[in-house]
Amino acid sequence: MSSQLAALNDWVAQVARLTRPEHIHWCDGSDAEDQALTAHMLESGDLIALNPDTHPHCHLHRSHPSDVARVEHLTFVCTRDREDAGPNNHWMAPDEAHAKIDALFDGCMQGRTMYVVPYCMGPIDSPLSRCGVEITDSPYVVANMRRMTRMGAAALARIEHEGSFVKGLHSTGELDPDRRFIMHFPEELTIKSYGSGYGGNALLGKKCHALRIASWQARQEGWLAEHMLIVGIENPQGEVRYVAAAFPSACGKTNLAMLIPPAAFRDKGWKVWTVGDDICWMQPGADGRLWAINPEAGFFGVGPGTGARTNANALAMLNHDAIFTNVAVTADNQPWWEGIGDGEPALDWQGRPYDPAQGPAAHPNSRFTVSMHNCPSYTPEAENPRGVPISAIIFGGRRRSLVPLVTEARDWTHGVLMGAAMASETTAAATGQVGVVRRDPMAMKPFCGYHFGDYWAHWLSFDRPGTKLPKIFQVNWFRRGDDGHFLWPGFGDNLRVLEWILDRCENRVEGRETAIGTLPRREDLDLDGLELPADDLDALIDIDVAAWREEAEAVAAHLAEYEPRVPAALKQEQQRIAAALAAS
């Protein structure tokens, strides 16, 4: 046995002594194992079989009603130096954190099976990929990790060859909100999660590893771990260019990743290819470009709002071999949520007869888990070990006002400031009040594993001689008119904006210079087949200078929260924009 596997075995034995499981099962990722786990969960009630005629091999899981979203106030980054975690994270000293959570783990798996889950984040043979091992007592977690990662024997073989892996320990515990923690130890490449079965808290390969721990690794190793989709846009000439885009959860990332071109564009030959919908790891290539992989192998998407009009590709991939969490069901046992388009709910997400007085039928953060191979717009490039070259990086969020439809940064530093200043209205993906505007730099506020000032400095460090960095843009699909209506149709029509973005990357189209960046002119957007009132278009591509002066002051105050580690270049860029606005 290699020393690497010996170290893994020692850790598994150590965890077993602490948690005292009845059985230990090393997961191999096989079909037979998945079928046996599914049968076990059907028997225990952890899973409920859905209609086999309409949704073969699909199952429903119902969470405890107190365990339905990420719990940011119970999520800690435990670095030796408190300042390294930054004001963007809750911090606890590592020794204190280990003691507190290990006391909860003590004996917690008695009478349960302990599953050892080796997994690879990214294509199994990619140098950009990183491995981990999650130990869990939840078969639901195992089933999801099988769909979300490259899990099993191949990952174990890579760990043996490579020697390095992230350690993740998870138990559902008693599902008591007062006995729940998600702890990250970046310097130890370790995660400990107790008391939750919800995806973002329990599927440790996802946000915990692929963002919080990986962002720390990426800073040390010279790459970027980002909360971004990756999508390929194929034009009528057959050229495919790739875009990475960061949006806070439930702001349309999956819809954009699986975008279906509007009819006028389809007729011309435009196609869209899905590489990933949530996480992007980027590294400079020998050619100076940023190359990206999707570290995930599946989708853990939000159900409500996903329908034939908003995301037909997502709906089409959910007809077989999917796990649904906290959705409603129809009388004939099909999954249902608000916005799905067809059917009526019979039972709500808690299994009660549906009564509108008790709230939505599906939980607003109800989810589906499915392999990315199910997606009609899936591209084999998602398995390319080299990754795909990124032409543009896009930042976006929900803003009712202020932010135009699309803005191009003047250079990399301006683009980093654009990302650092991002703000969005909160959604149901995290516990807390919905609809509040909060700063969410690069859509990473809940996920960056270290101080934001250091993180922005790391972004700025990529701008060096010999690089061919992507252009950076900001978009806002969510502008509303004075009467509350959305000014932009969104969904498939967002391709019209992506076309302008990619043409700007190739210097094929003009724009209008403003104090906040370059905006399209009316004639620069292809609006063929779109009935958009002229007043709405004008509002979308105009800026309110007075409001932006206030925004510039708010951005300065936001940056000041991360002193003294804010890069001087970022502060100078903010001052440059404020001066340009003052002169407008």
Would you call 251 a catalytic residue per the annotation?
yes
Residue 346's identity, in one-letter code, is: A
173 annotated to a ligand binding site: no
213 SS3 class: helix
- CB neighbourhood size of 414 (10 A): 19
494 annotated to a ligand binding site: yes
254 annotated to a ligand binding site: yes
367 annotated to a ligand binding site: yes
In terms of Cα–Cα distance, which of 378, 377, 376, 293 is closest to 120? 293
Q: Which helix (H) or strand (E) holds 134?
A: strand 130-136
**Which neighbouring-strand residues pair with 134?**
117, 168
Determine the Cα–Cα distance for residues 452 and 439; give it in Å rounded to an integer.
12
What's the angle, vertex CA 293, arms to CA 68 and CA 497, rounded to 5?
80
70 annotated to a ligand binding site: yes
Place of tokens 């391709």: 495
492 annotated to a ligand binding site: yes
234 SS3 class: strand
* 513 backbone dihedrals φ, ψ, rounded to 5°: -75, 135
In terms of Cα–Cα distance, which of 134, 150, 255, 282 is closest to 201? 134
Q: Which two tokens stand for residue 46?
A: 């952890």
Q: Which helix (H) or strand (E) holds 424?
A: strand 423-425
Question: Given its phi and psi angles, is residue 146 left (phi above 0), alpha (psi -120 to 50 degrees) or beta?
Answer: alpha
Determine the Cα–Cα distance for residues 83 and 94; give it in Å rounded to an integer.
13
Distances from the Cα of 573 to the Cα of 119, 515, 516, angstroms: 41, 12, 11
Place of tokens 């769909």: 147
365 annotated to a ligand binding site: yes
158 annotated to a ligand binding site: no
Q: How far is CA 525 from the centre of its chain?
A: 29
Q: Which two tokens stand for residue 569?
A: 């270049």
252 annotated to a ligand binding site: yes
Write the DSSP symbol of residue 434.
Answer: S
379 SS3 class: coil
Determine the Cα–Cα distance for residues 48 and 188; give it in Å rounded to an integer.
38
249 annotated to a ligand binding site: yes
253 annotated to a ligand binding site: yes
Determine the Cα–Cα distance for residues 156 and 154; give it in Å rounded to an integer.
5
313 annotated to a ligand binding site: no
205 annotated to a ligand binding site: no
Are 454 and 416 spatial neighbours (Cβ–Cβ below 8 Å)?
no
180 annotated to a ligand binding site: no
288 annotated to a ligand binding site: no
Are 458 and 219 spatial neighbours (Cβ–Cβ below 8 Å)?
yes
Determine the Cα–Cα distance for residues 509 and 499; give it in Å rounded to an integer.
10
29 annotated to a ligand binding site: no
435 annotated to a ligand binding site: no
Determine the Cα–Cα distance for residues 430 and 72; give it in Å rounded to an integer.
7
Determine the Cα–Cα distance for residues 163 and 23; give it in Å rounded to an integer.
26
455 annotated to a ligand binding site: no
| Annotated active-site residue in 78, 251, 375, 448 | 251
Determine the Cα–Cα distance for residues 205 and 189; give it in Å rounded to an integer.
12
Distances from the Cα of 133 to the Cα of 8, 59, 128, 416, 561, angstroms: 9, 25, 17, 33, 36
Binding-site residues for Mn(2+), in ranges, read 207, 227, 278
**Catalytic residue positions?**
251
Binding-site residues for GTP, in ranges, read 250-255, 367, 398, 491-494
Binding-site residues for substrate, in ranges, read 70, 198-200, 249, 365-367
Binding-site residues, in ranges, read 70, 198-200, 207, 227, 249-255, 278, 365-367, 398, 491-494
